[in-house]
Amino acid sequence: MTQTADPAAPHRDAIPSLRAKDYKSDIKPVWCPGCGHFGVLAALTKTLAYLDIAPEQAAVVSGIGCSSRLPAYLSGYGFHGVHGRALPVASGLKAARPDLTVIAAGGDGDGFSIGGNHFLHACRRNQDLTYIVMDNEVYGMTKGQASPTTPPDWAKSKLTPHGTGMPRFKPAAIALAAGAGFVARGFAGDPNGLTELLAAAIQHPGFAFVHVLSPCRTYRPEQQDWKTEVHPCVLGPAHDIAHAAELLQRDDGLALGILYEQRFPVYADGVSADAAGRLADIEAELCR
Ligand code: SF4
């Protein structure tokens, strides 16, 4: 394990009443054998059990892509929605149901390309959400096109036969610059370490971004090497932005752990009674 979750976790003294398997649905994942997303699913179910969050008290919202199938494999509330729009849906849900543990999840294409704008503003808005991005540096579901995090010289896609030639999107540095108060990186091949990171992220009051290196066995088989390349982030976590920026300037993209943690005021606790009344009026109008 790479990090220790907050020992003051609210539910940790009690014996967890549910186990990881209780958070899995009956639907069998259709991911390719060896896909990193299996490790993320395992870590997330262990995290929810560790924190003793009842399935009906958690909601996982996703966009589109291989990794965005995640909610279907969980037993709690889930929403497999529109490409790049996991965060706006999760934000609306958190505003309407502040009592729920709301987790948004998806891939690098979904979250950093079409959803990139939402990512920036979710970081600075600082609602109490956790955002897990399973990054394999490729669009897997649509058969291997370059994504925002693909290295510029990766030339195996027919759409970019000479590589993209563009610098890569740097998720952790961008989250920091956009105002996120919790930035961490995990590895799907280290489910125990990832469980601790996810527990810390869920317990963080405010927006928590967890960048997960999750290999695509089919279109990026070379990512199997990540097993030997990842390493703990020995310089983190940073608790001030200047230190974090310095750390991320030197980051090789393979350092695991909490990179930055800072507490900021959390955006509005929820929808006011007035607003809830207006929403009910709108709903009644639409359903007439
Ligand atoms: Fe996983 Fe890649 Fe297969 Fe998609 S295409 S399920 S990301 S291994």
Average pLDDT rounded to a whole number, residues 245-270: 92
| pLDDT of 1 higher than 70 | no
Which sign does the torsion angle of CA 239, 240, 245, 246 carry? Answer: negative
Over residues 230-239, the pLDDT tens digits come to 999 987 799 9
Over residues 47-79, the pLDDT tens digits come to 999 999 999 999 999 999 999 999 999 999 999
What span, in angstroms and rounded, lies between the C-alpha atoms of 210 and 206? Answer: 13
Type of residue found at 286: L
What span, in angstroms and rounded, lies between the C-alpha atoms of 40 and 60? Answer: 13
**Residue 278's pLDDT band (boundaries 50, 70, 90)?**
confident
User: What separation in Å is there between the alpha carbon of 22 and the centre of ligand 1?
Assistant: 25
Q: 20-286, which class in CATH?
A: alpha beta
Alpha helices, DSSP H, located in 28-169: 37-50, 86-96, 108-109, 116-125
User: What separation in Å is there between the alpha carbon of 220 and the centre of ligand 1?
Assistant: 9
User: What separation in Å is there between the alpha carbon of 28 and the centre of ligand 1?
Assistant: 15
What span, in angstroms and rounded, lies between the C-alpha atoms of 146 and 159? Answer: 8
Contact 256, 71 (CB under 8 A): no
Q: Is the CB of 37 under 6 A from ligand 1?
A: yes
Helix (H, G, I), strand (E, B), or coil: what is residue 170? Answer: coil
What span, in angstroms and rounded, lies between the C-alpha atoms of 136 and 191? Answer: 16
Which sign does the torsion angle of CA 141, 147, 149, 154 carry? Answer: positive
Contact 123, 209 (CB under 8 A): yes
| pLDDT of 275 higher than 80 | no
> Which amino acid residue places its CA nearest to atom 2 of ligand 1?
216
Structure confidence at residue 269 (pLDDT)? 59
Helix (H, G, I), strand (E, B), or coil: what is residue 210? Answer: strand
Q: Is the CB of 32 under 6 A from ligand 1?
A: yes
Instruction: Give the range among 19-33, 189-203, 229-243 with minimum mean pLDDT.
Output: 229-243
User: Looking at ligand 1, which atom is closest to the CA of residue 37?
Assistant: 1
Over residues 121-166, the pLDDT tens digits come to 999 999 999 999 999 999 999 999 999 999 999 999 999 999 999 9
Tokens of 117: 């704008």
| pLDDT of 9 higher than 70 | no
Structure confidence at residue 17 (pLDDT)? 85
Structure confidence at residue 191 (pLDDT)? 93
Percentage of the chain modeled with pLDDT above 90: 84
